[in-house]
Amino acid sequence: MSVPKKIEGLLESVSGSLDKLDELERTYNAARGNLTAELASYLDQLAAASAEANSQAVRAQIVRKLYWNEKISAELLGEAFKLKTHTLIKVAGPLVLSLRCPNGCGNTVNREFRSRLELKNYYGGDYTSRIPCDECQRKAEAEREAEEVAKRQRNLELQGLPWEHFTETEEWRELRNNVLHVSGYACDVCQAKGVGLFVYLGQDTPQNYPHFSRSEYLYHVLCGGCVSVCEHLINPKKGEYIKAEFVKIIRDVLHQGVYSEDAMYV
Ligand SMILES: [Zn+2]
Ligand SMILES: [Zn+2]
């Protein structure tokens, strides 16, 4: 089978371009090698000159200047000054940069970088190292504290509500819906589904689930027929009956994984 002339020509052009690219890379590498050798020689001379100066301070100053110039490889520098990487880092000393607060508040933050790697990570998007300014940190801390106080306050409020008012709170509805979800929308005892269900608090379970509590509290999902066999487990005064149609709504909404106001206010 003969290949059309046009295609043959184009294929030749492709390999021609590839050859040129290879050639360019060789030339580049050779030139880079030469220049690196030249740089290394200057660095050696600098190292020798700074040794002649016979001053640790001068030497440290030069090392510092060169180390924090990221175009010079640390390896090359270490070789010239006969320093191992960790000593090189130590002699160079940390770099302190005045950076903008990552929160965008307009303040500046003095940030110390101990090595070029740290600096690289910082600019490479290591967000854990982006520390906000003191003012932003104080603000965030105050906000956390205020939230904590509000939560405790709400907790006390919930504890003090009469049961019938408590069952109207968002907190209870969320908890109750979750309890139903975990029970598979079925009676814990006979597994009946598609029926109206009671959600009862266990005997020792407090009315609300304090957000800071680590205790395991118990809730019981029971159909009307099974309540009597569980009397020893439940707090008979603290239960809510959810009609079958509402159980279904809660199930549909939670199964879709969508948080819905409808489910919250059943
Ligand atoms: Zn700030
Ligand atoms: Zn049952």
CA angle centred on 182, ends 160 and 202, rounded to 5°: 40
Overall pTM surpassing 0.75 (yes/no): no
Residue 213 or residue 255, greater confidence:
255
Write the pLDDT tens digit of every residue in 23-61: 999 999 999 999 999 999 999 999 999 888 888 888 999
pLDDT at residue 126, as a whole number: 72
Give a yes or no: residue 76 inside a domain: yes
For residue 213, give the amino acid letter: S
Write the pLDDT tens digit of every residue in 61-91: 999 999 998 788 889 999 999 999 999 999 9
> How many angstroms is it from 187 CA to the middle of ligand 2?
5
For residues 73 and 79, the answer to whether their CB atoms sit within 8 Å is no
Give a yes or no: residue 131 inside a domain: no
Q: Is the dihedral of CA 104, 121, 43, 65 positive or negative?
A: positive
For residues 94 and 119, the answer to whether their CB atoms sit within 8 Å is no
| pLDDT-based confidence at residue 262 (cuts at 50, 70, 90) | low
* Boundary of a domain, candidates 49, 76, 93: 93
Kindly list the strands in the beta sheet with 234-242, ordered across the sheet, starting from the edge strand earlier in the chain: 219-223, 197-202, 234-242
Whether 172 and 85 map to the same domain: the answer is: no
Write the pLDDT tens digit of every residue in 156-186: 999 899 999 999 999 999 989 999 999 999 9
- Domain region containing 191: 162-264
Domains held by the chain: number? 2
> How many angstroms is it from 176 CA to the middle of ligand 2?
17
Write the pLDDT tens digit of every residue in 228-249: 999 999 999 999 999 999 999 9
> How many angstroms is it from 121 CA to the middle of ligand 1?
21
Structure tokens at 200: 């009862």
* Boundary of a domain, candidates 93, 120, 143: 93
